[in-house]
Amino acid sequence: MTFFLNTGKRQIDLSVPVCMGIINATPDSFSDGSELAKNSEDKFVVDIDKALFRAESFLQQGALIVDVGGESTRPGAIEISVEEELDRVIPIIQAINANLDLCISVDTSSAQVMTEAINAGAEIVNDIRALSSANALSVVADSQVAVCLMHMQGQPRTMQQSYGYDDVIEEVRRFLETRVVACKSAGISSERILIDVGFGFGKSLDQNFKLLKCLTHFKTLNLPIVVGISRKSMIGSLVNRPPRECVAGSIAATILALENGANIVRTHDVAATVDAIRVHSTYILA
Ligand code: 7PM
């Protein structure tokens, strides 16, 4: 099964997996965010030039998509205001859209941020809350952009406190199916929908690895699969290293995800991920 993702502006061929580079415009992002802070400011202000430079290097390294996020979804993170989120992400999206041929994804759950991001050139809404916030579904339905629906149990602030599943695979699958139905009922065609099991979002180490091992089960939904494993604690806690030193572990897990049908890999480490995709695609064709 080969897929094309329709973002309104372009059709992305997913017959070979593609790489989505992460641009985190958050002060407390554990693995890269504060690198985008303007040095001259006391409070966190994103440095647009640094963000643009990162996006450009992602493009050179072979990413097709950049995912720009301003709300910190790290476990335990505090929620920020919509104004703060807009201040962080919109200027970055505008700058990338004006300067680079990259498909821009916006990592947000807020309908207002989605609206302004789409106006600024975003082509994918990547929502860890799967369009469950007020008006989010209609904002996407009324546009031409694509959406990534992710599963999360609980909320980022509290989601690592308990992991209650009878059958993690079945429950995540059923949740995603329900959100896909909601999208289709609202008029979003399947060419515009991506699904994501949400590694690390209210899941134990064992549950994360069950999802990785059973990723093929999600192929029955007949939609492209996004995976976000990069530098997460499901890797860090195994290899006992801080996020920055989790690249090799993340690539190992990425190969397993690719082998189990991942179509889009969301990553901090684009060059390494593009190499892994090349190795895997060659292996598949041998
Ligand atoms: C802990 C958990 C730290 C998650 C940081 C994160 C995903 C996402 C994020 C994902 C999709 C991060 C994140 N993770 N969007 N946004 N899938 N679609 O690694 O797995 O940046 S936030």
pLDDT per position as a tens digit, 60-113:
999 999 999 987 666 666 778 999 999 999 999 999 999 999 999 999 999 999
Q: Looking at the annotation, which residues are catalytic?
A: 232, 266
For residue 147, the model assigns a pLDDT of 98
Among protein residues, the one with the nearest Cα to ligand 1's atom 7 is: 228
Atom of ligand 1 nearest to the CA of 126: 18
pLDDT above 80 for 122: yes
What is the CB < 6 Å shell around ligand 1?
22, 24, 73-75, 107, 126, 128, 148, 150, 196, 198-200, 226, 228, 230, 232, 266
- Ligand 1 centroid to Cα of residue 150, in Å, is 10
CA of 90 to the centre of ligand 1 (A): 19
Closest atom of ligand 1 to 156 CA is 2
Residue 170 above 60 pLDDT?
yes
Report pTM: 0.95
**What percent of the chain stands above pLDDT 90?**
83
What would the DSSP string read from start to end of the chain?
---EEE-SS-EEE-SS-EEEEEEE--TT-TTTGGGGB-TT-SS--B-HHHHHHHHHHHHHHT-SEEEEE-S--STTPPP--HHHHHHHHHHHHHHHHHH---EEEEE---HHHHHHHHHHT--EEEETTTT-STTHHHHHHTSS-EEEEE--SS-TTTTTS----SSHHHHHHHHHHHHHHHHHHTT--GGGEEEE--TTSS--HHHHHHHHHTGGGGGGG-S-BEEE-TT-HHHHHHHT--GGG-HHHHHHHHHHHHHTT--EEEES-HHHHHHHHHHHHHHHH-
Residue with CA closest to ligand 1 atom 6? 74
Higher-confidence residue: 190 or 156? 190
- Of residues 155 and 21, more confidence is placed in 21
Domains annotated on the chain, with CATH: 4-279 (3.20.20.20)
* Reported confidence tier of residue 1, pLDDT bands at 50, 70, 90: confident
For 41-55, how does the pLDDT look when each residue is reduced to its tens digit (9 = 90+)?
777 778 899 999 999
Q: Return the pLDDT at 224.
A: 98
Atom of ligand 1 nearest to the CA of 230: 19
